[in-house]
Amino acid sequence: MIYLDNGATTAIKPKAVADAVYRAMTEGYGNPGRGSHAWAQNSYRVLRKARKNMAKLLGTEDSIALTSGVTESLNVAIHGLITEKDHVITSVAEHNSVLRPLYATGCALDFLPLDEHLAPDVRLLDKMLKPNTKAVVITHASNVVGSITDIDAVMAFAEAHDLYVIIDGAQGLGQVPVNFSGSPTDKLIYCFAGHKSLYGPMGTGGFFYGKDVHPAPLKVGGSGIESFNHHMPDEKPVLWEAGTANVHGFAGLAAGAEFVMGKDYFEKKDRIFQALIDGLRNLEGYRIFYPEEKGTSCVGILKEGMSSQELALLLEEEDIATRPGYHCAPLLHEYLHTKETGICRLSTSYFNTEEEIQTVLDVLKTIE
């Protein structure tokens, strides 16, 4: 199979990730923080390494909470900080992992439209500011059209107006370099998924939290410390990590982060996708949804007179996996007027080859 559904999950993982998970499952790893014996300490070191590697990837010193994924991270941030009395600025590019938690809070919302690069138009932030604005909650990169949000501008705006910034980094981290060492705001939460462009296992993720961020925990329970406390300890990141950690998964996440920090990772990943986007732009009869300037390794296409589902099924007959439909991004499809057809998303990874890309382009040429 030629797998071009990496925006959903990178199905092919580095061997180092699989090896790390296998070691954690077979070589004596107990429950971290629940004992002082060697096997418990082995697991504690796994968590410490995962935090260290994620902090390095983000250009920070520490302040990493580990969760089951970006959805849990976003729920912690949104439900822990936003109330029905607040106003939040978000965008039409958001995934339901942002939209549904926001809707659930009952807060007032304003939505940034897209700019000429298909990214949230951050030039309009000032116009949406209200006296009760609490936060900007926004995607780092679109999971449909590959556009990249100017998060530096968002953070600068938030700092100027004392707002929280909650960033959905599911499609950003591992796709573009990130460095928060000079972040203009201490009210930042950057949420990430382990199983996408970090090449880690499913069920892993987390978030970076600035020093002025104190969201209430989404779940409470065992913490390994302060057992007589009726509430979760205030210590970070324990506050947000109730229950037994996914040590096996986080061993893989640590290895995945190391892989992404490898010297040739971005060069090869970008080269493979560039071959795809260049070829797509030379095809006739297709509508391409991708920014003119640089985006991520994710592009949407439509064949004239055909739904995204019909196109994906024809590609599937040639053993090419893509993702048709609406990608849990309903407002984006309404904005792009693709509610009737959906969009067929093609997303590459480091492990795709130029030969595979050429095969895909050749197949697309034959579809009528």
Domains of the chain: 2-10+264-366 (3.90.1150.10), 15-261 (3.40.640.10)
pLDDT at residue number 183: 87
Q: Tell me which amino acid residue 354 is.
A: E
pLDDT at residue number 347: 99
Query: CA–CA separation, 361 vs 357, rounded Å?
Result: 6
Give the confidence band of 191 by pLDDT, cuts at 50, 70, 90: very high
Query: CA–CA separation, 38 vs 289, rounded Å?
Result: 53
Strand 164-168, strand 133-139: pairing:
parallel
Q: Tell me which amino acid residue 142 is.
A: S
- DSSP class of residue 171? T
Contacts of 363 (CB under 8 A, 6+ apart): 315, 318, 320
Give the confidence band of 225 by pLDDT, cuts at 50, 70, 90: confident
Query: CA–CA separation, 147 vs 8, rounded Å?
Result: 16
Whether residue 330 is preceded by a cis peptide bond, meaning omega within 30 degrees of 0, is no
CB 154 within 8 A of CB 107: no
Q: What is the mean pLDDT of residues 310-339?
A: 98
Contacts of 284 (CB under 8 A, 6+ apart): none
pLDDT at residue number 7: 99
Q: Per-residue pLDDT for 195 more than 90?
A: yes
Q: Per-residue pLDDT for 368 more than 90?
A: no
pLDDT at residue number 161: 98
Which residue shows structure tokens 């092919």?
A: 12
Mean pLDDT of the chain: 97
Q: Which two tokens stand for residue 18?
A: 């699989």
Query: CA–CA separation, 91 vs 93, rounded Å?
Result: 5
pLDDT at residue number 114: 98
pLDDT at residue number 321: 99
Question: What three-state secondary structure class fits 61?
Answer: coil
Give the confidence band of 293 by pLDDT, cuts at 50, 70, 90: confident
Percent residues over pLDDT 70 in the chain: 100
Q: Which two tokens stand for residue 36?
A: 């002082």
Q: H helices within the chain, ranges in order?
A: 15-26, 38-58, 70-81, 96-105, 125-128, 151-160, 247-260, 265-281, 308-317, 330-336, 354-366
Q: Per-residue pLDDT for 35 more than 90?
A: no
**Among 231-235, 320-324, 332-336, 337-341, whose mean pLDDT is lowest?**
231-235
- 111-169 residue pLDDT tens: 999 999 999 999 999 999 999 999 999 999 999 999 999 999 999 999 999 999 999 99
pLDDT at residue number 34: 84
Which of 109, 82, 84 lies closest to 216 in space, CA to CA? Answer: 82
Query: CA–CA separation, 299 vs 319, rounded Å?
Result: 19
- 176-186 residue pLDDT tens: 999 999 888 99
pLDDT at residue number 73: 99
Instruction: Give the count of beta carbons closer than 10 Å to the beta carbon of residue 134.
Output: 20
- 313-327 residue pLDDT tens: 999 999 999 999 999
CB 296 within 8 A of CB 171: yes
Q: Which two tokens stand for residue 288?
A: 């391409």
Q: Per-residue pLDDT for 212 more than 90?
A: yes
Give the confidence band of 61 by pLDDT, cuts at 50, 70, 90: confident
pLDDT at residue number 237: 96
pTM exceeds 0.85 for this model: yes
Query: CA–CA separation, 238 vs 223, rounded Å?
Result: 7
Query: CA–CA separation, 79 vs 98, rounded Å?
Result: 11
